[in-house]
Each structure stands twice: as structure tokens, then as C-alpha cells.
Amino acid sequence: PVWVRESFNQLEGRGYGPEFMRAVEWWTVLERTYGWETSTKGLGTDRRPSEVGHWLRVLRRNLAKPPQIKKESQYAMLWWEWWAGLQPAWRECDNRGIPVIGGSGDWNALRAPGKNSLLIVLLSLAWWREAATNATMQRWTAALADVAWV
């Protein structure tokens, strides 16, 4: 589908390295297993950074118009809270509330094929990376590792 190709090209063009591209490539594999289906159900919005909602509502999903992240540390904190809240109940979190890589179980909590699912997670990571400074780069790298693992 056009939306997958355009999104893939946009994410690939960012040049964030092999781990980022691994996450993007696995996303396309996942969408293929869903038969390119587009669900009306998206991922949860609780604690989602406001920039993500703004992009979805106001910037009309224009891949060339990422939202502006003005408070990088706040975005990073909310991003992790949002991501942790999306995880299946079997995933353990560390003392900071960040999911620990590992374990196994049902992934239905994250099953929402189409434009409103893991694509939004990948885009939100890309936007964070654009705004990242030394203050949050380590947290971004950890977030990327967790998304790639998922």
C-alpha cells in the first residue's frame, strides 16, 4: 500500500542507523502479516505526548510536517509512560516504569494493524530523535531498542 511505502521511505531517509531500520523493517513485516489491513482501533492515548495527538489531528498526518517538540525532556518522559502503558500485562517494568526487554506472552495489547499503530510509535521516535540532545539521547536509544525488540 502507498501509506506503507511512503512511511517506510520517510523513516529510512532519516539515517538513524541499523537498529532504527531494523525496527522499521520489522514493522513492515508485521503489517504484511496483517494482510495490510487497516483497523479503526489505534493504540491507546493515555499519557501520549501531546505532539503526537497534534500531528494526528492538526498536521493531518503529513509525513513532511513533523510536530515541533519544545520540551524534549517532557516529551521523553511522556513517551516512555505512553509506551509502557501500551505493553501487555506480562511485560515487567524496572523501578523507573520502563519495560524490561525479555519475556514472552500474548501481544494482543499491541495488535492494531494499520496507520494508527506501531507506525505512530516509529514516527514519534523519529521526531524525538530530531529533537534529542545529550539530555535524552540515552533514553531515546533505550526506547529504540525496546521498540525494535517488540
Which sequence spans correspond to the domains of the chain? 2-149
C-alpha–C-alpha distance, residues 83 and 85, integer Å: 5
Cα-based angle 25, 4, 98 (whole degrees, multiple of 5): 50
C-alpha angle with apex 78: 77 to 80, nearest 5 degrees?
70
Query: Any idea what the Cα angle at residue 96 is, between residues 108 and 90, rounded to 5°?
Result: 25
Q: 82 and 48 in contact (C-beta within 8 Å)?
A: yes
* Residue 146: C-alpha distances to residues 19, 33, 63, 100, 139 (Å): 10, 21, 23, 8, 11
Q: For residue 40, what pLDDT is reported? A: 78
CB-count burial class (<10 Å; 0-12, 13-18, 19+) for 21? middle
Q: Is 59 helix (H, G, I), strand (E, B) or coil?
A: coil
pLDDT for 130 equals 95
Nearest to 149 by CA among 115, 78, 98: 98
> For the segment 78-120, what is each residue's pLDDT rounded down to a tens digit?
999 999 999 999 999 999 999 999 999 999 999 989 988 999 9
Q: Is the CB of residue 3 less than 8 Å from the CB of residue 122?
A: no
Q: Residues 29-67: pLDDT tens digits?
A: 999 999 998 887 889 999 999 999 999 998 887 898 999
Question: Cβ distance 143 to 99 under 8 Å?
Answer: no
pLDDT at 68 over 80: yes
